[in-house]
């Protein structure tokens, strides 16, 4: 038997934190298409069920268009069962409560609910009371939950569900299908139980970099094995580029291009400039951002580099620049503020556009 475990699709997410309105709309469509691709791969690959461990949608207020599409997609594969446990983002959405919901869509509520599915018992709760979880030892048990693993007590923090792994020991769980964390991650709960976060199908922001996909479960001989399968159409990358000691804008541009040379043009890239450079160095970040934007679907630059300023170099400098730097360095500003003021001041002295 083959099953797929996925989570955190966040369909209908605005996607406008970094992207233009046009590209945000395009990415929303791509994420929906990736879910459809997953369903078709499952049907073609002999998968019998898809387990969705929360946050299929980004909120309860989804568009009728998206809701209808998902409804019709599920219904169009009647031989494929969908077990959908809502997460902290999409509890209360109408897909679960619709009177005409597809017959192959199985949902959960606040209490523990179990479905016998072939040789497997699939159990889940959207607001789980771990003390009330009671599973048969002689069954092959898969449990769906959505939340953040924490060692401390409590059920929620800032609206997020908390899961105490320690309380799941010796509960006769074979595989714990989790949602909420947007990266693939596994942990052993006890000798029998493996907990797994599948991560999201597509990264939406630069806090979701790296490969994204789903988990394929194979059940043979009363045991569950699993493996991560990448599926994302686009990958997000955060790359550091050390600009220490650069001598020209062209050299800076070449360093930047070297740092991103292995990244496909279809991906999204954020380059963080690091290192230190002399106060006189000419660094046109806007130009660098333009170079990247021509090469990738989306690109941005975050300048985290520092100015290399040694006060002794300006102690006897009688120029306007020397006087300016000495006054700023002697001020009560914080070090980061001093660097920002000096950088802006030097650009002003050389006739460049000043931006804070």
Contact 180, 87 (CB under 8 A): yes
Could you identify the residue written with the tokens 């804070």?
A: 356
Q: Element (H or E) spanning 258, and its range? A: helix 249-259
Is pLDDT above 90 for 53?
Answer: yes
Helix (H) or strand (E) holding 73: helix 64-75
What tens digit of pLDDT does each residue of 18-37 get? 899 999 999 999 999 999 99
Instruction: Name the residue ranges covered by the structural domains of the chain.
Output: 2-230, 235-308, 309-356
Q: What mean pLDDT do residues 263-277 have?
A: 94
- At residue 38, the pLDDT reads 98
With H, G, I as helix, E, B as strand and everything else as coil, classify residue 160. strand
Task: Give the CATH fold of the 2-230 domain.
Answer: Purple Acid Phosphatase; chain A, domain 2 (3.60.21)
Mean pLDDT is lowest, of 80-84, 111-115, 273-277, 339-343, for 339-343
pLDDT band at 279 (very low <50, low <70, confident <90, very high): low
Strands 160-163 and 156-157: antiparallel
Say what the pLDDT of residue 347 is: 62
Is 337 or 312 the better-scoring residue by pLDDT?
A: 337
Residue 40 — left, alpha, or beta (φ > 0 → left; ψ -120 to 50 → alpha)?
Answer: alpha
Query: What is the gyration radius of the CA atoms in the chain, in angstroms?
Result: 26
Residue 156 has pLDDT above 50, yes or no: no
pLDDT (tens digit, 9 = 90+) per residue, 324-340?
Answer: 777 877 888 887 777 67
Percent residues over pLDDT 70 in the chain: 89
User: Do 289 and 259 contact (CB within 8 A), yes or no?
Assistant: no
Contact call for residues 246 and 252 (beta carbons, < 8 A) = yes
Give the pairing type, strands 113-117 and 120-124: antiparallel
């Amino acid at each position: 038997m083959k099953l797929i475990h996925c989570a955190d699709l966040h369909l209908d997410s605005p996607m406008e934190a970094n992207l233009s309105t046009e590209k945000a709309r395009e990415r929303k469509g791509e994420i929906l298409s990736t879910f459809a691709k997953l369903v078709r791969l499952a049907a073609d690959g002999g998968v019998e069920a898809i387990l969705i461990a929360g946050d299929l949608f980004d909120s309860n207020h989804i568009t009728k268009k998206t809701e209808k599409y998902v409804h019709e997609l599920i219904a169009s594969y009647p031989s494929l069962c969908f077990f959908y446990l809502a997460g902290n983002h999409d509890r209360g959405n109408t897909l679960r409560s619709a009177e005409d919901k597809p017959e192959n869509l199985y949902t959960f509520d606040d209490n523990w609910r179990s479905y016998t599915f072939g040789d497997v018992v699939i159990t889940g709760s959207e607001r789980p009371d771990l003390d009330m979880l009671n599973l048969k030892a002689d069954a092959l048990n898969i449990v769906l939950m959505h939340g953040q693993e924490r060692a401390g007590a409590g059920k929620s923090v800032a609206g997020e569900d908390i899961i105490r792994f320690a309380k799941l020991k010796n509960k006769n769980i074979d595989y714990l299908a989790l949602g909420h964390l947007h990266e693939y991650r596994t942990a052993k709960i006890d000798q029998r139980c493996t907990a797994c976060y599948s991560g999201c199908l597509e990264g939406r922001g630069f806090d979701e970099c790296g490969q994204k996909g789903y988990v394929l479960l194979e059940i043979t001989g009363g045991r569950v094995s699993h493996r991560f399968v990448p599926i994302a159409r686009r990958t997000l990358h955060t790359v550091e580029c050390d600009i220490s000691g650069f001598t020209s804008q062209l050299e800076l541009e070449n360093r930047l291009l070297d740092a991103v040379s292995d990244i496909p043009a279809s991906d999204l890239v954020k380059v963080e400039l690091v290192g230190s450079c002399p106060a006189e160095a000419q660094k046109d970040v806007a130009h660098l951002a333009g170079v990247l934007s021509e090469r990738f679907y989306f690109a941005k630059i975050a300048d985290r580099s520092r100015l290399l300023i040694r006060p002794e170099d300006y102690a006897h400098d009688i120029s306007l620049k020397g006087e300016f730097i000495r006054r700023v360095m002697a001020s009560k500003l914080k070090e980061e503020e001093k660097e920002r003021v000096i950088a802006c001041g030097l650009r002003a002295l050389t006739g460049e556009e000043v931006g804070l």
